[in-house]
Amino acid sequence: MDLAGKDPMALFLEFLAQQWILTLALLVAIALFFYHESRKSGPTLTPQMAINMINSQNAVVLDVRDSKEFQLGHIVDAINIPAAKLEARVAELEAHKNQPVILVCKMGQHSGAVGKQLRQQGFEQVYRMSGGMAEWTHMQLPLVS
């Protein structure tokens, strides 16, 4: 078979068609990897679910944005520990170890790594707020500045 004259994209598509079982296995493995990684950092909550958990279970909101962003507006009674400083300041959360902890960041993308760190420190009830503060403000929920 002469490969020199074929378009690389055509070769790639031909490979995918011929090796569909390998391709499917790879896609499943990738999906399972991302699912597993997201579960290690804690399940996600919508802002409304977070409000319900705060009110019914006395959940603690941990805002992991930097101090400047936090001062511009944050959830009432939120604790601000920037993600980069969590390791040094995790002792501040020790009193809340048995409470649900809801992680909030700017857009819901950086709280996963913080969730993993907290779980390693023995926090069992760690949740991430999907959409972060961007979703919170989009829903026009109250902020304190």
Question: Which pLDDT does position 110 carry in this prediction?
Answer: 82
- Let me know whether 56 and 16 are in one domain: no
- Around Cβ 123, how many Cβ atoms within 10 Å? 22
Of 119, 122, 118, 128, nearest in space to 87 by CA:
118
Of 58, 60, 54, 121, nearest in space to 91 by CA:
121
State the total domains in the chain.
2
Question: Which pLDDT does position 37 carry in this prediction?
Answer: 67
Question: For 2-27, what is the mean pLDDT?
Answer: 87
Task: List the catalytic residue out of 60, 105, 118, 126.
Answer: 105
Of all residues in the chain, what percent carry a pLDDT higher than 70? 94
Question: Which pLDDT does position 42 carry in this prediction?
Answer: 77
- Let me know whether 53 and 23 are in one domain: no
Mean pLDDT score of the chain, rounded to an integer?
A: 91
* 105 flagged as catalytic: yes
Each residue's pLDDT tens digit, 69-110: 999 999 999 999 999 999 999 999 999 999 999 999 999 778
The model's pTM is: 0.74
- Strands 126-129, 101-104: pairing is parallel
CB 5 within 8 A of CB 11: no
- Let me know whether 48 and 31 are in one domain: no
Q: How far is CA 2 from the centre of its chain?
A: 48
Q: Enumerate the H helices of 41-110 as residue ranges.
A: 47-57, 67-72, 86-89
User: Given a cut of 90, is residue 113 above it in pLDDT?
Assistant: no
| Residue 145 forms part of a structural domain | no
Question: For 42-52, what is the mean pLDDT?
Answer: 92
Question: For 121-136, what is the mean pLDDT?
Answer: 93
| Residue 2 forms part of a structural domain | no
Question: Which pLDDT does position 1 carry in this prediction?
Answer: 53
Which residues span the domain enclosing 129? Answer: 42-138
